[in-house]
Amino acid sequence: MQLKGRRAIPATALVALLTSTVPASVHPHVFAEARLEVMLNSDRTVKSLRHLWRFDDVFSSTVLMEFDKNADLKLDDAELQEIASTIHASLAEYNYFQVVTLDGKDVAMKPPPALMVNYEQDQLIVLFESEPKAPLKLTGKVDFGVYDPTFYTAIDFTEDTNMAVADLPAGCSRSVIRPDPDEALAQNQATLTEQFFNDPAGTDMSKIFATKLELTCQG
């Protein structure tokens, strides 16, 4: 993956996050606590997905050192915008780590028009909102998840309540699915080949490990 932002900084954690060539078998190096809220329209279609990622202190401090051009140990508005633009451009080919399916079939999402980045209490926070490309009606089984196909970044929903849906309509139930890694490996052993684990770009099969918000609706 090539960095597509306005600034390319070699050998930093930010570039590693966006352009990792580390084999997928390696443990994650960057960690983020996440929140996801599914927003609905009155006609039982999905309006948007609202994401919040709060990155770990080590990664956040590295970003601060690399983007703090005036060395005041702060990130001003221009510096935050540069980080946001870099992440926005570089994660486009990865669909911003989103996975959405309807009855097991992938649902295409529009890229978010922009990302918002804050730096609070020594942590980098990324926020964005995206919409389905076509109307997505709540019927059958709809899954929403977040995962990094390269396994370099761990996006963690520490509480089930961090995966929410606003105003869930009648006839729908909500559950959070947390796959057991060992069971996922066993169930997909035939397709998880050595090539999969050594592909630096990752593959779609990595979504079997993603924590998902599952909505099951009648009609």
pLDDT digits (tens, 9 = 90+) for 136-176: 999 999 999 998 887 788 899 999 999 999 999 999 999 99
Our CA angle for 159, 165, 168, nearest 5°, is 130
Query: What is the reported pLDDT for 71?
Result: 92
Query: What is the reported pLDDT for 202?
Result: 46
Is 0.75 surpassed by the pTM of this model?
yes
CA distances from 205 to 17, 31, 46, 93, 98 (A): 19, 21, 25, 16, 13
Query: What is the reported pLDDT for 10?
Result: 32
Contacts of 36 (CB under 8 A, 6+ apart): 49, 50, 51, 52, 144, 146, 157, 162, 163, 164, 213
Domain boundaries, the chain: 13-217
Assign residue 96 a region: left if phi > 0, alpha if psi is -120 to 50, beta otherwise? Answer: left
Handedness of CA 94, 96, 101, 106 (dihedral sign): negative
pLDDT at 78 over 90: yes
Residue 13, both tokens: 């954690």
Q: How many Å apart are CA 114 and CA 88, to the nearest integer?
A: 7
**Amino acid, single-letter form, for residue 62:** T
Q: How many Å apart are CA 24 and CA 150, to the nearest integer?
A: 6
